[in-house]
Amino acid sequence: MDNTVRNTEAYQALLQVDQNERTFKSRQGYTIAYAMSLFIPPLGVFYFFKYVFFANGTSEDIKAGCISLVLTIVSLLVLIWIIGILFKQTTTSLPKQSGDTIMELITPENQNKLKDLYR
């Protein structure tokens, strides 16, 4: 009887260790999913489908999938905003050229002056 109690306790301890290890691995997987969702936004959609539709269906998996999707959307919005700012800065730093300046350069008199300068 004493031997079966010890075996049962050992088995329960091994089950607890296995459960803790699985929980740790799943949390590690969630962390990777969150990082990928932030830094490579399209992958967040992959993790959303993976955890919501193809995982075990636990509440933690569904929560991780939804968090990945939200992080992906936020990351994409921030990326679009930053690209918009960069394009705005590059276009405002260019000098404004009017059509008059271009027309002035292509007149025959000015073309002859430019040819003389190049000679």
pLDDT of residue 30: 85
pTM for the predicted model, two decimal places = 0.58
Q: How many CB atoms lie within 10 A of CB 30?
A: 19
- Closest of 45, 46, 52, 53 to residue 72, by C-alpha: 45
pLDDT of residue 100: 64
pLDDT of residue 5: 65
Neighbouring C-alpha atoms within 13 Å toward the C-beta of 14: 6
Cα distances from 8 to residues 4, 13, 38, 40, 44, in angstroms, run: 6, 9, 45, 47, 43
The tens-digit pLDDT sequence of the chain (119 residues) is: 566 766 777 667 666 666 655 654 556 778 888 999 999 988 889 989 988 888 777 888 889 899 999 999 999 999 999 999 988 887 666 566 566 666 666 777 777 777 777 77
Q: Which residues contact 105 (CB under 8 A, 6 or more apart)?
A: 111, 114
